[in-house]
Structure 1
Amino acid sequence: MDATGGDGAGPMTGDDWLRAILRAPVYDVARQTALDPAPRLSARLGNTVWLKREDLQPIFSFKIRGAYAKLAALAPEERARGVVAVSAGNHAQGVALGARQLGLDAVIVMPVTTPAIKIAAVQALGARIELAGDSYADAARRGAEIVRAEGRVMVHPFDDPATIAGQGTVAMELLAQHRGRIDAVFVPVGGGGLCAGMAAYLKALDPAIRIVAVEPEDAACLAAALEAGRPVPLDQVGLFVDGCAVRQIGDVTFEVLRERVDEVVTVGVDRICAAIRDIFEETRTVVEPAGALALAGMKAWVARTGTSGADLVSILSGANMNFDRLGHITERAEIGENAEAIFGVTIPEERGSFLRFCRSIGKRAVTEFNYRHRDDARAQIFVGIQLKGGLAERREISAGLRAAGYAMEDYTENEVARLHVRHLVGGGGGARAERLFRFEFPERPGALLDFLETLGTRWDITLFHYRNRAAAYGRVLAGFAAGPEDEAALLADIDRLGFWYRQESDNPALRQFLG
């Protein structure tokens, strides 16, 4: 299939796309995925939310559809030459599985930034892998070299009519599964293959359905193309949403999308992380960032437009998540959902000031407390507070702290503070004698206040590092101004708490970095 109506007579029309999608032989390897209701999200957003579960494909991504449709369309002479594909991972798995099914020799070129779980999955399917460059563009140059040197057929991840038609079968299933009106469908966009295929099918059968393309803020190549009136390269793309880290929208996909997409929504990392958590809470499935992109866009769109009572569909496009990314995602999800606020606060360096500050916060759950004694005049605290009332509560806390006389800054949206400063609150604590302890105490409201009311009124606290990571017990490193002559009394007070603890004053790592 080429970019014309199939006979070279002209560009593909809506009917041409419809026929191509209906004929795409994807079910040799793909499965029809569920369209699941999302009752929790529906209640929160005031709309009926549906999740199209492409994360349930054999390769955990919709990419198997387009890859196999393209491979199946190859002529016998092309199959004999073997194929090459360039992909950040999911298309690679689709080509590798399809090639194995059809008995084709396949080479996959992937950026070196590709998550290890995707590389391992492609290797397990028997394809030859080459890692080249940091981006899709870098890998694509290597793929072109292989085509020239070995005569292989390039299987493009998105900018090919057969691939687009294969991806369009997602929309074919969607309309067959959903009863009644669909008001809007939210589709993630990298190179545009999935969105183009779905938009071509949906607009051909029901032009009233609103097609909302969703892109990462740092890889919004469709938005840039629509503004310019043609595909244009981005200067740089972010890599967090690796499945959509594409520098330039495809030529074929752009021609389809420019007439069929109703709007483009862009979202940042924090919103995407919050959507990953939403999907887990709804389905008990952990999707990859690209897999949650459409839902993040849906939530942003509903918040911006005030839409209610509508039927909204989000495409969960993939679930090839590296396990070691979960910590970062959990960290960022709180900010994306307005569930955590971060403040930098200056307090007087005097006995009891730490406790008074905590009392000013009240019974709110503290997510993080980082403090280190610097001098005898002032102390700096980096504090995270769990929010139940979103932005309004965050402003209320800020106003309350200022009214209490504290110099403070709101760092909730400060990228450097969130990524780096929270780990840098430390250093030497001056010349005073100091005893260091590790504690564990139950994660319940008031546990921190109990700790400080027992110890903070009698002992100068020189160090306090705490971060709540949703565990049953909070883990704290704390320091107290106490010499050898004070140790017996300090230990007696600590024993009164009833919390597990261990003295770490002689820990070599603490001696080296805290002085």
Structure 2
Amino acid sequence: MEKVTLQDVQEAKEIIAGVALKTDLLENVRLSEKTGAKVYYKCENLQRTGSFKLRGACNKIAHLTDEEKACGVIASSAGNHAQGVALGARNAGIKATICMPANAPVSKVAATKSYGAEVVLHGAVYDDAYEKAVQVQKETGATFLHPFNDKYVIAGQGTIGLEIFEQLDGNVDTVLVPIGGGGIIAGIATALKGLNPNIKVVGVQTCNVPSMKASFEKGQVTTAFNDVTIADGIAVKTPGDLTFDIIKENVDSVVTVTEEEIAQAILFMMENQKLVSEGAGAVSTAAILSGKYKPAKGENVVCVVSGGNIDINTLYRIMSVALNRQGRRVNIVAELPDVPGSLSKLVEIVAKCGGNVLTITQDKLSTGKYLKLQTVEATIETIDFEQIEKMKSEFIENGIKVEFL
């Protein structure tokens, strides 16, 4: 195993000091009250380029030879490493080509291009983009910058751990870190365990792509992919062998969270901390909210918010899911007699129960079993599930057949 040491991380801190920001460490009072612990956010979503990836990319570029720089660099990325490499390459005056999944968020693609990089879109997940990058690298001779399985990249990401330790004056008990390929958690674990081996480091993955958890449990690098995920930044089917070796040695446990739990965590962070997080950045919060990780009372817990580069359209869809799961929005389909006053009665009941109609569609041209009936579809803003149940009872009492979706 290629060793990454605390000294490597400390050297990386000096190298990237002029580029990467020392991001804020903020307490989330709501989570602290909920758990009895002191819960903090390490806000890498506020980093330049909106993600921690800038740290590792700039440290790696700084270690390239003049010959390697002359050939330009190529990288594969779900979006955040892309921006880090693009900005680092621009600062170093070298050409950058980035291969990204075809479904990468539009905002990440646009941002990468804005830093002067050439973008090649290919495949559905990071691993597909990686294969394309390998092909392009062979054709062009560019220097490949791996997003996680690289000593200098890992050391750069580890500077987050140094900052956390400094910002809490060494009083750190547990750090929750997102895992995709493993670069950020390998770096943070190397730094923190080097400073204090009693600090607990917990990795968090999405259930849809639990590759590092599967590897951690089997004791060897394992490929795992169940479905696509809103946490595109950690959608890595096969983790790195270097990162795995470090994680196996320095990480205490790995937990997984569902897509719904991630969506609710994104909403929670916006409402309670005024922070915008992408799916990958929200998994550490999701682990606590879901109970997958339960902090001990009185301990200092840090949730690493790895990035905030989320597409607005994606955010809108995620918010809709989260609001539905919390009973704060509901969709209904109603069958009403096709007579005057039927629709107004339905709306009257919604208003009586305190609901707010956001959208409504009426269809009076149905045939077959819907003859002399009209169908109404509506999205209603609600307060909670209790209010929804009250609305159901009112519909039943008034003889209105309604399906709640």
- TM-score band (shorter)? 0.7 to 0.9
Aligned residue for 1:513?
A: none
Aligned residue for 2:238?
A: 248
Q: 1:201 aligns with which of 191, 201, 204?
A: 191
The higher relative CO (CA closer than 8 Å, separation ≥ 6) is in 2
Aligned residue for 1:420?
A: none
For 2:21, give the aligned amino acid: R
Quickly say closer, same or farther: Cα 1:449–1:201, change in 2 above 3 A: closer
Aligned residue for 2:94?
A: 104
Q: C-alpha offsets along residues 234-268 of structure 1, whole Å, 9 cap, x if unaligned?
A: 24442321000100110100010001111111000
For 1:430, give the aligned amino acid: Y
- The answer on whether the counterparts of 1:41 and 1:278 sit within 8 Å (CA) in structure 2 is no
Cα distance in 1 between the residues matched to 2:186 and 2:404: 48
Which stretch of structure 1 is more off in the superposition, 188-197 or 138-147? 138-147
Cα distance in 1 between the residues matched to 2:281 and 2:287: 11
- The answer on whether the counterparts of 1:370 and 1:465 sit within 8 Å (CA) in structure 2 is no
In the TM superposition, 1:169-318 aligns within 5 A as 169-179=159-169, 181-301=171-291, 305=294, 307-318=296-307
- The answer on whether the counterparts of 1:36 and 1:53 sit within 8 Å (CA) in structure 2 is yes
Quickly say closer, same or farther: Cα 1:36–1:296, change in 2 above 3 A: same
Aligned residue for 2:9?
A: 21
Aligned residue for 1:431?
A: 371
- Normalising by structure 1, report the TM-score: 0.67
For 1:21, give the aligned amino acid: V
Question: Is residue 94 of structure 1 aligned with residue 84 of structure 2?
Answer: yes
Quickly say closer, same or farther: Cα 1:370–1:49, change in 2 above 3 A: same
Identity within the alignment, %: 34
Aligned residue for 1:485?
A: none
Q: 1:120 aligns with which of 110, 119, 140?
A: 110
- The answer on whether the counterparts of 2:181 and 2:243 sit within 8 Å (CA) in structure 1 is yes
Cα distance in 2 between the residues matched to 1:442 and 1:227: 43
Quickly say closer, same or farther: Cα 1:28–1:371, change in 2 above 3 A: closer
Q: What displacement does 1:141 show?
A: 1.3
State the secondary structure of the residue aligned to 1:74.
coil
- RMSD, matched Cα: 4.1
Aligned residue for 2:318?
A: 329
Q: What displacement does 1:28 show?
A: 2.7
Cα distance in 2 between the residues matched to 1:428 and 1:320: 49
Q: C-alpha offsets along residues 152-204 of structure 1, whole Å, 9 cap, x if unaligned?
A: 11000000000000000000111010136322100000000000000011111
State the secondary structure of the residue aligned to 1:143.
helix
Aligned residue for 2:309?
A: 320
Q: C-alpha offsets along residues 20-39 of structure 1, whole Å, 9 cap, x if unaligned?
A: 10001122321100111111
Which stretch of structure 1 is more off in the superposition, 162-171 or 42-51? 42-51
- Normalising by structure 2, report the TM-score: 0.84
Quickly say closer, same or farther: Cα 1:440–1:93, change in 2 above 3 A: closer
- The answer on whether the counterparts of 1:107 and 1:127 sit within 8 Å (CA) in structure 2 is yes
Q: C-alpha offsets along residues 383-403 of structure 1, whole Å, 9 cap, x if unaligned?
A: xxxxxxxxxxxxxxxxxxxxx
Cα distance in 1 between the residues matched to 2:323 and 2:373: 38
Cα distance in 2 between the residues matched to 1:440 and 1:147: 50
Quickly say closer, same or farther: Cα 1:289–1:437, change in 2 above 3 A: closer
For 2:75, give the aligned amino acid: A
In the TM superposition, 1:43-122 aligns within 5 A as 43-122=33-112
Cα distance in 2 between the residues matched to 1:306 and 1:165: 27
Count matched residues: 391
Runs of 5+ in structure 1 lacking a partner?
Answer: 5-11, 374-425, 468-515
Aligned residue for 1:394?
A: none
